[in-house]
Amino acid sequence: KNEVEQSPQNLTAQEGEFITINCSYSVGISALHWLQQHPGGGIVSLFMLSSGKKKHGRLIATINIQEKHSSLHITASHPRDSAVYICARETSGSRLTFGEGTQLTVNP
Amino acid sequence: GAVVSQHPSWVICKSGTSVKIECRSLDFQATTMFWYRQFPKQSLMLMATSNEGSKATYEQGVEKDKFLINHASLTLSTLTVTSAHPEDSSFYICSARDPRNYGYTFGSGTRLTVV
């Protein structure tokens, strides 16, 4: 069992739809990260969370420490949001353990 | 924001040769950099943690004599894949933590193909 599990693995949406990607982890964390990986491989850090909720533009990330669960939401999705979204847990020593990613495709 | 520059973006090399990948933090000092590998359709895996001025810390199962890491300055870490084999073909990416906000910044990655 992966230490970080994401669902769904693949997600196809129509432009404008509200999207949710889920992440569960099995052990304690110092922080939870959401990353975006584009087709060329480049990775952008979206959020770093240790509690509560963060919002940046159309992206919202939440975390429930007790339930060891985090969600990434995209409001009013757009084709340019198409990418792989990766959840990663951070433990001591700044080590990241990654989920397998969610491939999001937003169709116009 | 913080920028990490990684070169080359892609490289093709012959079996048995060595390949060096560079990772530079452009606008901040990085005492620690991280090297990851990603095989197709798989998640990123941490290979090693590069520490400026000291030896790198390798993850279990990663051969330190094969993947040489040097972090000689606060802005440069290098990963050398020695005696490369086709099974080393992968996407290698580095990251560093911006001390100003503790966020991770990633290099653009290097796609290595060993023929």
Judged by DSSP in three states, A80 sits in: helix
**Spans of chain B below 70 pLDDT:** none
A1 has pLDDT over 70: no
H-assigned helices in B1-115: none
B32–A41 C-beta distance less than 8 A? no
Average pLDDT for residues A48-64, to the nearest whole number?
Answer: 96
Average pLDDT for residues A54-79, to the nearest whole number?
Answer: 96
- Per cent of chain A over pLDDT 90 is 85
- What pLDDT, on a 0 to 100 scale, did the predictor assign at position B98? 85
- What pLDDT, on a 0 to 100 scale, did the predictor assign at position B46? 94
- What pLDDT, on a 0 to 100 scale, did the predictor assign at position B99? 83
Q: Which of residues 25-54 of A touch B (CB under 8 A)?
A: 33, 35, 40-45, 48
Give the amino acid at B5: S
Beta-sheet pairing, B110-114 with B10-13: parallel
A44 has pLDDT over 80: yes
Gap between the Cα atoms of A23 and A91, Å rounded: 16
Is A89 an 8 Å CB contact of chain B?
no
